[in-house]
């Protein structure tokens, strides 16, 4: 990752202030700098400077598409929420305008919508000059209450005035937000869809004047409910292009609980009568039938073996002492490791049995702590060797001398456990440890060891706290410094439980070194925990902190599933096709003593088809990790319904490695409804205006690849690709984009699972957050026919539109942060042969002039 010099940072800070006031008048050289930084998207909208999230107030008015957006006019992280503003005549080239609706001393201006009050129902304008009216969520700073409020513009959206009678809708809630308002002609009234976020409901209200609202109905909970519901949108679409056959689409964004983890956007298709939305999908589900392996209905664990004390002496019939109500289990009983609270650990293991089915289906709930390959289940012996520091004294003295502290994060000596307002710290040895949460995350500083000689192969230590890599602008990390250079670094995992880490120092034997503990972060998880630093000939291995269910073959974990930080059990599956005829075991594991440190499990069944979780059964606008707060334009010409979304994820949104600006929007998509397999499915395509950016084009001749990767001779940072591929005999096949220097982003299809996947694990910079280096998947049956791909590649994103021969479609959107030199495009096949039957590619011009 490149870094800017301090003088450059000061310049950007000054420009950020000016931008917030709408006063930036950059010279051509400065403009080039601002819009051509590393990772800056070249055909996706980004603000010139500072933080952006949800798109707001999307409306087409007098030949211009207006894009308002959640914006921090004062910095590159979330805060000071106001409405930024940009306009376009073609949905491609954008001009950022001055700040539209600023926060003030009383409120932040959260998400909402804009309508044209043609009939002057509000009285804000006139019939000859109707007002644009913004309906937004007023987030009260003093109380946290979220109320619906109005602002209006009579000069086409350039300047805005807040309504003196605000709020216009207040139900006394801190989770009531993101109104989408539109005119409903059949009742000659305004309609509002607004989120009851923590109840997983969308409320519908009506009004004749935008000022007085009447509650009509609620929709939900339904579909995916793993996190809060936000940013609803409701609109009609013709089915198969037939205007006489119209259905309504309700889009609901949620965080966390998205299909790819963190933020996500789902939709429902159904009917709306002006008062109530009814989904075509009833939400009922019957899992595949099969042979029950264990349902815990006998009143005992039977021949399953329990260790530890977390599971108690028998299955439970509901919540145990101190536990919230448990739902979703089958029958009367289930396995529950909350006995004694989250502090207890243990396992519950089946006897060996022979696999005879394609799947083992089961229900799982509790904590979201996945299995970590290489982790040890049980206590890991403390490594022996030379102890450099154990932090048991009242000062930072150690066997190798006194450590030196700067700043105010580390205090004058080691902590004695957990600080006030800190989650419970665990996993350290003895009584003392380094803990930079002193006075909270806002404090910063360093702690540096004396010089020592590296004379053993490994350096082992216990580490916890925040995950902010040494390469980030504000690290929370332990660094090994040799000859004035940082040669190793490690960080916590956004957890207060310390765990073993180890550095192989084979190449540094005999060198003089120092350890530097750095806390430069003042945000969430902006601290570090450290203990028991040992030079050793033994490599310490982390101990497992899993809460979940494992499939064991020859005693080794081959598949795993976990809960979602919920007391609701949901279906999961192990694909056992590869293990037919083999002996396996099922193991339920609780190795976690922290928050949500327990597991729930029930109804293990051998079946020929997989059971689908609520996440898998939900209808997703996008299966990628970076598609959130999706919303559509009002009054788009030609009756088009066009959607755009925030191309980021709340899991890591504030940590992505961009400077001067943070976050982009997806490229606008035109929506339609198509009948696929007897049901109306939402279909998305990039708006046709994309063609205006096409420059050089290339056609690749049909190419066959077997068990390898073939370069297609294409290069580009900004590309549009249209391709058709067929599996032939391959298990996996597809395209790699942004390749070079060991980097790639893989767009593939797995014939063994019937899924499209978008793999960014080797896409470039991924170390800024634990949850970033992931593979996203989406089901799409090919039935031996071609896979059609339409791919948009930009400086820091990939959008994949994948379709089968039946017209069924899935879309996946991911951010990536590759090196600028990684520009190649390859075709690949694994486990056999695949054919690229066609590929058309276009270089895309930059929208920033």
Task: Indicate which residues carry an active-site annotation.
Answer: 54
Furthest-apart CA atoms within the chain: distance in Å? 84
Measured distance CA(814)–CA(628) in Å, rounded: 11
CA dist., res. 788 & res. 725, Å (int): 7
Report the alpha-carbon distance of residue 531 to residue 478 in Å, rounded.
Answer: 11
Q: What is the Rg, in whole angstroms, of the alpha carbon atoms belonging to the chain?
A: 28
**Length, in residues, of the chain:** 849
DSSP letter at 378 equals S
Bridge-partner residues for 271, per DSSP?
278
How many CB atoms are located within 10 Å of the residue 243 CB? Answer: 10
Question: Which position has the token pair 């991924």?
Answer: 766
Q: Is 289 within 8 Å of 317 (Cβ atoms)?
A: no
d(CA 265, CA 248): 16
For residue 375, give both structure tokens: 């982790």
Distance CA 111, CA 180 (A): 9
Question: b/e map of 203-240 (b: 16 or more CB within 10 Å)?
Answer: bbbbbeebbebeebbebbebbbbbbbbbbbbbbebebe
* DSSP code of residue 433: B
d(CA 6, CA 1): 16
> Hey, which residues does 444 pair with through a beta bridge?
none
Torsion of CA 797, 657, 631, 233, to 10 degrees: 120
How many CA atoms lie less than 13 Å away from 701 in the CB half-sphere? Answer: 0
Judge residue 556's burial from the number of C-beta atoms within 10 Å of its C-beta, 0-12 exposed, 13-18 middle, 19 or more buried.
exposed
Strand partners, 190: 183, 207
For 773, residues 6+ apart whose C-beta sits below 8 A from its C-beta are 760, 761, 763, 766, 767
Output the CA torsion 398→400→406→411 (10° steps): 0
Instruction: Return the closest-CA partner of residue 713 out of 703, 722, 728.
Output: 703
Q: Exposure of 142 by Cβ count < 10 A (0-12 exposed, 13-18 middle, 19+ buried)?
A: exposed
Strands of 16-63, DSSP E = 50-61
């Amino acid at each position: 990752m490149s870094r800017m010099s301090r003088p450059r940072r000061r310049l950007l800070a000054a420009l950020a202030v000016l931008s917030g006031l709408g006063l930036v008048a950059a010279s051509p050289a400065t403009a080039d700098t601002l819009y051509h930084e590393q990772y800056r998207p070249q055909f996706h909208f980004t603000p010139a400077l500072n933080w952006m999230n949800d798109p707001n107030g999307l409306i087409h008015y007098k030949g211009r598409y207006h894009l308002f957006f959640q914006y921090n006019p004062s910095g590159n992280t979330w805060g000071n929420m106001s409405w930024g503003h940009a306009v376009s005549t073609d949905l491609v080239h954008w001009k950022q305008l001055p700040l539209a609706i600023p926060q003030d001393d009383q409120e932040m201006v959260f998400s909402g919508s804009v309508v044209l009050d043609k009939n002057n129902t509000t009285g804000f304008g006139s019939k000859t000059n109707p007002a644009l009216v913004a309906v937004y969520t007023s987030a009260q700073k003093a109380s946290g209450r979220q109320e619906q409020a109005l602002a209006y513009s009579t000069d086409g959206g350039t300047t805005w005035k807040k309504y003196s009678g605000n709020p216009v809708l207040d139900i006394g809630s801190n989770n009531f937000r993101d109104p989408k308002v539109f005119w409903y002609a059949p009742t000659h009234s305004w309609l509002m869809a607004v989120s009851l976020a923590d109840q997983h409901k969308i409320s519908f209200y009506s009004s004749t004047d935008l000022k007085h609202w009447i509650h009509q109905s609620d929709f939900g909970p339904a579909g995916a409910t793993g996190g809060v519901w936000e940013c609803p949108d409701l609109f009609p679409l013709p089915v198969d292009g037939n205007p006489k056959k119209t259905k309504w689409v309700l889009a609901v964004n949620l965080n966390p609980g998205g299909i790819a983890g963190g933020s996500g956007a789902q939709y429902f298709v159904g009917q709306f009568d002006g008062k109530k939305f009814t989904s075509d999908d009833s939400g009922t589900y019957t899992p595949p039938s099969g042979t029950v392996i264990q349902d815990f209905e006998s009143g005992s664990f039977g021949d399953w073996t329990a260790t530890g004390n977390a599971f108690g002496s028998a299955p439970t019939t509901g919540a145990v002492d101190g536990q919230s109500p448990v739902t979703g289990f089958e029958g009367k009983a289930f396995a529950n490791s909350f006995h004694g609270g989250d502090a207890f650990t243990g396992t519950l293991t089946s006897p060996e049995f022979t696999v005879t089915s394609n799947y083992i289906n089961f229900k799982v709930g509790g904590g979201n702590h996945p299995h970590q390959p290489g982790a040890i289940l049980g206590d890991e012996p403390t490594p022996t060797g030379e102890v450099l520091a154990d932090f048991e004294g009242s000062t930072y003295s150690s066997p190798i001398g006194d450590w030196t502290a700067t700043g105010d994060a580390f205090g004058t000596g080691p902590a004695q456990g957990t600080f006030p307002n800190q989650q419970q710290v665990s996993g350290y040895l003895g009584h003392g440890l380094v803990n930079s949460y002193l006075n909270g995350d806002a404090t910063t500083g360093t702690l540096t060891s004396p010089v020592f000689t590296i004379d053993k192969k490994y350096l082992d230590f216990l580490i916890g706290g925040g995950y902010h890599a040494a390469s980030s602008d504000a690290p929370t990390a332990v660094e090994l410094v040799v000859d004035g250079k940082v040669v190793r670094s490690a960080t916590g995992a956004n957890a207060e439980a310390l765990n073993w880490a180890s550095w192989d120092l084979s190449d540094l034997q005999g060198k003089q070194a120092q350890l530097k503990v750095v806390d430069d972060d003042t945000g969430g998880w902006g601290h570090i925990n450290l203990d028991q630093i040992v030079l050793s000939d033994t490599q310490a291995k982390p101990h497992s902190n899993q809460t979940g269910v494992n499939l064991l073959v020859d005693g080794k974990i081959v598949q795993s599933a976990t809960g979602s930080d919920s007391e609701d059990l949901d279906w999961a599956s192990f694909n056992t096709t590869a293990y037919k005829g083999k002996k396996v075991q099922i193991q339920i594991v609780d190795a976690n003593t922290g928050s949500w440190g327990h597991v729930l499990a029930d109804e293990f069944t051998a079946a020929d088809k997989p059971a689908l979780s609520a996440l898998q059964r939900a209808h997703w606008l996008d299966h990628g990790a970076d598609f959130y707060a999706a919303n559509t334009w009002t009054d788009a010409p030609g009756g088009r319904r066009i959607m755009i979304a925030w191309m980021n994820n709340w899991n890591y949104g504030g940590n992505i490695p961009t400077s001067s600006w943070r976050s982009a929007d997806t490229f606008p998509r035109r929506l339609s409804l198509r009948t696929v397999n007897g049901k109306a499915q939402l279909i998305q395509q990039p708006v046709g205006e994309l063609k205006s950016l096409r420059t050089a084009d290339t056609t690749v001749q049909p190419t066959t690849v077997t068990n390898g990767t073939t370069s297609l001779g294409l290069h580009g940072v900004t590309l549009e690709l249209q391709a058709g591929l067929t599996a032939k005999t391959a298990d996996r096949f597809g395209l790699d984009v942004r390749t070079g220097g060991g980097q790639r982003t893989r767009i593939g299809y797995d014939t063994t699972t019937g899924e499209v996947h978008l793999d960014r694990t080797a896409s470039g910079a991924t170390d800024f957050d634990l949850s970033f280096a992931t593979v996203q998947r989406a089901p799409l049956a090919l039935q031996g026919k071609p896979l059609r791909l339409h791919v948009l590649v930009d400086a820091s994103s990939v959008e994949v539109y994948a379709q089968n021969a039946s017209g069924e479609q899935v879309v996946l959107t991911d951010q990536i942060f590759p090196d600028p030199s990684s520009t190649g495009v390859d075709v690949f096949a694994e486990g056999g042969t695949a054919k690229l039957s066609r590929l058309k590619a276009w270089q895309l011009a930059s929208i920033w002039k």
